[in-house]
A = this chain, B = another copy of it.
Amino acid sequence: MKSTTNTKKYFYLRLKRLKRILEDKNIPCMVILKDENIFYLTGFYGKDSDSLFCIVNGDLYLLVHNIYYEQARNSICLDGVNIIRYSFSKYEELSKLLGNYSLPLVGAESNNISHSDFLTLEDKLKKQNKKLVGVEDIVEDMRMIKDDLEIERIENACKITDSVFSSIINSKLSNIRNLSEIELKLEIEKEIISKGGDGSSFDTIVANGINSSKPHHITERKKVEDGLLLIDFGCIYNNYCSDITRTIIIGKSGQKDKEKRLKEIYDIVLQSQLCAIESCREGISCAELDRISRDFIKKNGYDAYFLHSLGHGVGIEIHEKPTVSLHNNLVLRENMVITIEPAVYLEGIGGIRIEDMVQVKKDGCRVLYTSSKSLLVFS
């Protein structure tokens, strides 16, 4: 990441917001453990790096393993962060550091620390008369509402995704029977790089025929045959993710009845998705939005086959808050970015899923893709 003055501004604003939240909660010291949260706050993204960011009485510390030290120094977007390298235990290093501060309590991200690590750290801090307190989702909640820098990066990720999809449709699908699921997956990943993406945001799903009834099917080596073809992929651009799904029909099945039924279901899923997009705006709850989409599918008799929630937040992570499900009463707010992806899965027949990413607005939402959702049939 290029750390221009303009970029830095956003990191300072995020830190300022976090400090205010910690003040309100009376937490003088907070330990951030999730790599994506550390990236959001500092600009350093060490995936699986076992790093730690600590704010204590206004002082900032980034603890990284030796092997990430050079990367951390080069990517950090905040001035005044003390970068400390460790070679063995970050909790050991942290408690040494906190030994210099007189504090009644230390907060740690209780959803991002294992129970055994929590006990280890608790024990070390007890010896300093400090109480370790679990604090949940502070940074995850901040991250739900995207700032302009994030929106710009997500928009770019979505543009690349549109362009990959269009190129796959135009150049690969006419010849699809020569490819296996796994080869088509490779082609998508190659296109992502060639269109300017940094890689896939998750393990690309290419599911053909009855395989498509498994929402998270693992691609196989068998050549693509007549039937449904579900493609679910996304790219990373500047550490932000995209996520899209389209389902198409390959070939003329010869079974006119079956094809007719699939087309009917496709239309139900599409109408359900369009209803949800129509209703998506600041002020509606995740549960209400899911309900609108699910009710449409229910009215048509397929709700038992819509196996998951309507959608999820997308940003630095491919799945992040909010979960757009019946169980989540959280109210959507402007500049949240979520997927809307109703589906119907029929074991032994196949699955149809249509997924867009949208940016929530005051009075509606903006679909971040231009890729068509009309049913494509390749004969």
Q: Which A residues are within 8 Å of any B CB, using their own CB?
A: 46-47, 49, 65-71, 87-88, 108, 110-119, 134, 136, 182-183, 186, 189-190, 193, 199, 203, 213-217, 307-308, 325, 327, 347
Contact = CB atoms under 8 A, between A and B. Distances in A.
Contacts of A327: 88
B110 A111 contact: no
B113 A213 contact: no
- Ranked nearest first, the 4 interchain pairs of A and B with the lowest CB-CB distance are A115-B118, A67-B215, A110-B116, A66-B307
Copy total for this chain: 2
B134 A214 contact: no
A213 B70 contact: yes
A35 B165 CA distance: 31
A70 B347 contact: yes
Given A46-B216, A116-B134, 7 more contacts: A66-B307, A70-B213, A108-B115, A111-B115, A115-B117, A183-B193, A186-B189
Given A183-B193, A190-B186, A70 B214 contact: yes
A63 B68 CA distance: 37
A237 to B, nearest CB: 13
A39 B77 CA distance: 40
A284 to B, nearest CB: 21
Contact of A193 (B87, B88, B186, B199): B186
Nearest to A204: B199
B88 A115 contact: no
8 contacts: A47-B203, A67-B214, A88-B325, A111-B115, A112-B114, A114-B115, A115-B134, A190-B190
Contacts of A182: 193
A122 to B, nearest CB: 9
Contacts of A347: 70
Nearest to A88: B327
B119 A134 contact: yes
A214 B71 contact: yes
Contacts of A189: 186, 189
A65 B307 CA distance: 9
Contacts of A69: 307
Contacts of A88: 325, 327
Contacts of A108: 115
Contacts of A111: 114-117
A115 B71 CA distance: 29
A71 B186 contact: no
A136 B112 contact: no
A118 B112 CA distance: 12
A87 B306 CA distance: 11
Nearest to A318: B48
A216 B49 contact: yes
Contact of A66 (B70, B186, B308): B308
A67 B207 CA distance: 14
Contacts of A67: 214-216, 307-308
Contacts of A213: 70
Contacts of A47: 203
A113 B110 contact: no
A184 to B, nearest CB: 11
